[in-house]
Amino acid sequence: MWRLGLAALLAAQTAAAATWTCTATAVATPSQLVLSRCTATGTYTTGGDPLVEGPNKALCGRVERLPTGGVHTTAESATTGEAYVVILGKVTQHVYLATSAKTGAEYALGEVAAGTSIEGATFTALTLCK
């Protein structure tokens, strides 16, 4: 019985960290305004998870373009049905997710717990690139 518990603990600790893969489409010439749809695979990591191709390619469609600003939607998981507030880290270049703990009189936002499955979560970003 203890082996089963140990195996479950080991599996939980080795779950794959999430990564975000994006497809970018320029909507204004010359690729200054770009629409991207990003999808997660894996489980959330404290401190956020990376955009697989890096922010330039993921959000601007080309590595030589730099994201300078933009707006994005919340993320929703098609797998779990959970919704998250998306925060794009300017310094770390990671995608952070926040959600409400739904406890107490107020519903404050907090970072999603490490190890939470965010498989299939998607968000859309409209990014101004230079």
DSSP string, 68-119: EEEEE--EEETTT--EEEEEE-TTT-EEEEEEE---SSS--EEEPPTT-B-T
How high is the pLDDT of residue 8? 38
Q: How far is CA 95 from the centre of its chain?
A: 4
For the question of whether the overall pTM of this predicted structure is more than 0.85, the answer is no
How high is the pLDDT of residue 5? 39
Cα-based distances in Å from 1 to 5, 7, 124: 7, 10, 45
Of 95, 114, 115, residue with least CA distance to 54: 95
How high is the pLDDT of residue 92? 80
CA dihedral over 35, 66, 42, 110, signed as positive or negative: negative
How high is the pLDDT of residue 44? 94
Q: What is the pLDDT along the chain (130 residues), one digit of tens a residue?
A: 333 333 333 344 456 889 999 999 988 876 689 999 999 999 999 999 999 888 899 999 888 888 988 999 999 888 778 899 999 987 788 999 998 866 666 777 889 999 999 999 999 999 999 8
Domain spans in the chain, listed from the N-terminal domain onward: 17-129
